[in-house]
């Protein structure tokens, strides 16, 4: 698999939405993701980004120059996804960066652990894409921030790895069979 780097001049006037959800209330926005948001906004892109935590949104917004618009939302909830999409009329790029992992050995995995992990790591990205579909312009990009956990197999993170594998499988199918 390859990738291309888009010249900064191509970022002007694009519309980007970054969804994020972290279980840890004290975990700030991931540094590299924040850098990308800042760069895109600085280059002229309208950049929306989400978090459940108001303080985190305001701190991130203060670090970004340009047209960066924080949206407080719990992207694990379909109603919240619908609400934020109502504020956005068109999208050129959707970045899905929602996920959580919790350590649990096979003996420790509970129904709640399984439901929470799959709910956030599989259901939320699926419904974020579904909610954004009407807003995605022809030629729009969807960027899914994933993990290598589905291929390396780390002790205590079996459910997390399985959820990431399920998410990757779903999005591979969507990439091949795009909606009309």
The SS3 call for residue 93 is strand
DSSP-assigned letter for residue 10: G
The strands making up 136-144's β-sheet, listed across from edge to edge, are 68-72, 46-51, 15-21, 91-98, 136-144
Torsion of CA 137, 140, 146, 148, to 10 degrees: 150
* Catalytic residue check, 160: yes
**Helix residue spans in the chain (DSSP H):** 31-42, 54-63, 78-86, 111-118, 124-132, 149-152, 158-176
Catalytic residue among 18, 21, 157, 160: 160
Coil, strand, or helix at residue 129?
Answer: helix
Structure tokens at 180: 């009309």
Burial class (CB in 10 A: 0-12, 13-18, 19+), 159: buried
- Give the tokens for residue 17: 């939405």
Q: Which residues are catalytic?
A: 160
């Amino acid at each position: 698999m390859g990738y291309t780097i888009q010249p900064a001049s191509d970022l002007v006037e694009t519309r980007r939405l970054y969804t994020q959800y972290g279980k840890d209330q004290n975990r700030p926005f991931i540094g590299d993701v924040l850098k990308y948001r800042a760069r895109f906004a600085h280059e002229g892109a309208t950049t929306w980004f989400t978090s459940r935590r108001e303080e985190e949104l305001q701190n991130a917004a203060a670090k970004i120059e340009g047209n960066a618009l924080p949206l407080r939302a719990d992207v694990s909830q379909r109603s919240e996804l619908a609400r934020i999409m109502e504020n956005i009329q068109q999208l050129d790029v959707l970045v899905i960066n929602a996920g959580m992992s919790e350590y649990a050995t096979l003996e420790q995995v509970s129904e709640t652990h399984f439901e929470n992990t799959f709910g956030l790591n599989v259901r939320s990205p699926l419904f974020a894409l579904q909610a954004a579909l009407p807003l995605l312009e022809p030629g729009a990009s969807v960027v899914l921030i994933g993990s290598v956990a589905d291929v390396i197999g780390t002790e205590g993170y079996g459910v997390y790895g399985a959820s990431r594998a399920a998410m990757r499988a779903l999005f591979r199918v969507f990439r091949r069979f795009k909606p009309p």
